[in-house]
Chains A and B, each alone.
Chain A
Amino acid sequence: MSANDFFKVENLRLYFRTRNGSVQAVDNVSFRLGEGRTMTVLGESGCGKSSLAKAILRLLPRNVEVYQGRIVLGELDTMSLSDERFRKEVRWTKIALVPQAAQNALNPVLKVADQIAEPLLVHERGITKDAALQKAREAARIVGIPLDFLERYPFELSGGMRQRVTIAMALVTEPELVVLDEPTSALDVLTQANVMNVLKRIKQEFGTTFILITHDIGTASELSDEVAVMYAGQMVEQAPAEKFYTTPRHPYSQKLMASVPTLREEKDLEFIPGQPPSLINPPKGCRFAERCPSRFDKCSADPPVVQVEPDQFVKCWLYEEGEDG
């Protein structure tokens, strides 16, 4: 089973302290991911999916109240490391991040080649500038940046090219896991398809493990092996992509899928009335109960995570004890 346990997150919690109380951005999230596979974390704004990315990379703001749980990459329990050791041994060398909207946050006074080489110079001790630039060229080739672009500045590049630069920056240190936070949400349709093609090729050629965080369910299907759905700080469903896209189990996943317009097939679109709960003092029971069409008495208590199939998990009372859909 070790192949399936390449990356493990157990009971991860990340709460932020605010004036109004503590915000439970990531609340008791657990999942595991096999090597070379891609998990998509789906969810709407404010559901904690970006906080999950930050928690995995330990890129935390100052107002953290609770940060606990277990994160295991291969054999390494990264939560047990000190901040300094985490920075030296894990961040970017083992786990890299393509932050949200990073294509607009490139350093405007660095040439593309220097920008891509920067993570190497920061995170790999003793590497020479020349060796770093050589590796940067290689990373640029992999993501499809033409070589003559390396001498350009970010403002001379289109959005899609800049996004490739941020992906190259994440790949240049040859990390074992890459977390992509909304890598295509600011891009045009054709550019989006291009970037997804690049990611797909990297996945096939190098077997990189990806966690793709997005709200775009259609585009996510381009890369997903596994799908996890987050709602109000919690993971409510985790399933292989084939199962998720055909038969989502959690009522929220079902409603979410029903709200996605499709081009090739006609269906009646639905929306989910109401709003997600506040993450300050969220409801005690199921957090989706208030908007759920199949709510019943039990939903006022926190639902268990039910294993409906060997690889499909749902946090919902409906599936408890063989009351299978």
Chain B
Amino acid sequence: MAKETLLQVRDLHTWFELRKWGFARVGYVRAVDGVTFNLDRGETVAVVGESGCGKSTLAKTILGLHKPTRGEIYFDGKPLHKLDTAGMKWYRSQVGYVQQDPYGAVPPFMNVYRILEEPLIINGVKDPKEREQRIRRALEDVKLAPVEDYLPKFPHQLSGGQQQRLVIARAIILEPQLIVADEPVSMLDASVRVEILQLLGRIQREYNLGIIYITHDLATVSYFSQRIFVMYGAKIVEQAVTKDLVKNPRHPYTRALLAAISDPDAANAHTFKEVPPGEPPSLLKPPPGCRFHPRCPEAIAGVCNVQEPPQVVVDEGHQTACWLYDKDGQAEAEAV
């Protein structure tokens, strides 16, 4: 099956201006700082990183909720920055958003029917019969059945898992081509998480959707996505096919992240974890060179703290931004 590119992100920067007294500009928070990737139709990529690494800002920029400072996003070949108001409306109907917190994502004063009807009304589905049909189909898709029981319910009458399914139903009701899911299961219990992820996976296959799955939980990622992007300090430091990344991580940060995850095993109680010292960098004044170098156990003095690392292709479909894998950089290090 020929792969078809759905979303192209080129050198994307989203910076937030910081002002003092309301007008004096004091700097920028570089929340997304040079991100480039492609997403195919029907593909799931996971964006993994710690809080404050810019992954949610990346999601919101793709959704069109933040205006990029620099760089372009192409959706289905169309450049986002050239779309007019009507074009943006079309784009928003093509991209569904599954929020992190199902409890806060739905208005408490609307019942299920109204919540799902609203996007249809806004996007000009005038026939009430068609609206009802589509609402029913969306609810069946997310397994809120029997549909009759759920239509009149208000969010507080639903459990966390059911609310998240409602949020997913709302995200797919306009039949989008892309879904951005920002930590869709982090607020849910373990036994429900798998259910929601499997549900998302099934809907994706059925409608051939692209999914951008934003999360900090590497363990669920390996079950749910084809590719992983690891973000650190507002940049993607490593991207690879899921299995490859989990088995053969290259970037020292990815390795630290993987090592920090505990699989349920009683033997864990007898060993200590190795954790790189320090904290993630400030995005207001990121360190020069590689942003991980102050914490990196393998940092090459004179290289990593001076120059930004290049994107190195280490394997087929496996890229990392690290001097360790750059031949020139290595030579330089040996010379030092």
Interface residues of A (CB under 8 A from B): 44-45, 158-159, 188-194, 196-197, 200-201, 215-225, 241-242, 244-246, 255-257, 259-265, 269-273, 275
| Chain B minimum-CB-distance residue to A196 | B273
B78-86, B123-131, B259-267: which lies at the A interface? B259-267
B266 lies within 8 A of A261 (CB)? no
Question: C-beta contact mask, B26-53 vs A, less than 8 Å → 1, else 0?
Answer: 0000000000000000000000001100
- The answer to whether residues A193 and B264 also contact, given A269-B223, A275-B159 and a CB cut-off of 8 A, is no
A200 lies within 8 A of B190 (CB)? no
**Chain A residues with CB under 8 A of B261:** 189, 218, 263
**Chain A residues with CB under 8 A of B191:** 44, 255-256, 259, 271-272
What are 24 inter-chain pairs, A to B, with CB distance below 8 A?
Answer: A188-B51, A189-B218, A189-B257, A189-B260, A190-B50, A190-B256, A192-B260, A193-B262, A194-B275, A197-B273, A197-B275, A218-B262, A219-B262, A221-B263, A241-B269, A245-B264, A245-B266, A255-B191, A256-B191, A257-B264, A262-B219, A271-B191, A272-B191, A273-B195
- The answer to whether residues A221 and B265 also contact, given A192-B260, A255-B191 and a CB cut-off of 8 A, is yes
A265 lies within 8 A of B272 (CB)? no
User: Out of B189, B195, B218, B266, which one reaches A263, CB within 8 Å?
Assistant: B218
Give Cα distance in the complex from A263 to B257, angstroms: 11
- The answer to whether residues A263 and B258 also contact, given A223-B269, A224-B266, A271-B192 and a CB cut-off of 8 A, is yes
Give Cα distance in the complex from A262 to B268, angstroms: 14
- The answer to whether residues A271 and B264 also contact, given A45-B189, A224-B269, A261-B222 and a CB cut-off of 8 A, is no
**Chain A residues with CB under 8 A of B220:** 261
**Chain B residues with CB under 8 A of A261:** 193-194, 217, 219-220, 222-223
B190 lies within 8 A of A158 (CB)? no
A217 lies within 8 A of B264 (CB)? yes
**Chain B residues with CB under 8 A of A192:** 260
Interface centre among B217, B223, B268 (most CB of A within 10 A): B268
A259 lies within 8 A of B219 (CB)? no
A193 lies within 8 A of B246 (CB)? no
**Chain B residues with CB under 8 A of A224:** 266, 269
Interface residues of B (CB under 8 A from A): 50-51, 159-161, 189-195, 198, 216-220, 222-223, 246, 256-266, 268-269, 272-273, 275-276, 279
B263 lies within 8 A of A262 (CB)? yes
A-B Cβ contacts below 8 A, count: 119
| Chain B minimum-CB-distance residue to A45 | B189
A197 lies within 8 A of B190 (CB)? no
B275 lies within 8 A of A241 (CB)? no
Can you add 4 more A-B contacts, CB < 8 Å, to A196-B273, A263-B246, A264-B263?
A159-B51, A193-B260, A242-B266, A263-B261
User: Out of A200, A262, A270, which one reaches B194, CB within 8 Å?
Assistant: A270
A45 lies within 8 A of B269 (CB)? no
Give Cα distance in the complex from A130 to B43, angstroms: 62
| Min CB–CB distance B101 → chain A (angstroms) | 13
Give Cα distance in the complex from A216 to B216, angstroms: 14
Give Cα distance in the complex from A255 to B260, angstroms: 25
B219 lies within 8 A of A221 (CB)? no
- The answer to whether residues A246 and B190 also contact, given A189-B50, A193-B275, A194-B275 and a CB cut-off of 8 A, is no
**Chain B residues with CB under 8 A of A244:** 266
User: Out of B161, B195, B222, B264, which one reaches A260, CB within 8 Å?
Assistant: B264
A221 lies within 8 A of B262 (CB)? yes
| Min CB–CB distance B8 → chain A (angstroms) | 30
A221 lies within 8 A of B192 (CB)? no
Interface centre among A158, A222, A263, A275 (most CB of B within 10 A): A263
- The answer to whether residues A271 and B195 also contact, given A215-B190, A262-B219, A263-B218 and a CB cut-off of 8 A, is yes
Interface centre among B189, B191, B216, B220 (most CB of A within 10 A): B191
**Chain B residues with CB under 8 A of A273:** 195
B193 lies within 8 A of A259 (CB)? yes
- The answer to whether residues A188 and B216 also contact, given A193-B260, A218-B264 and a CB cut-off of 8 A, is yes
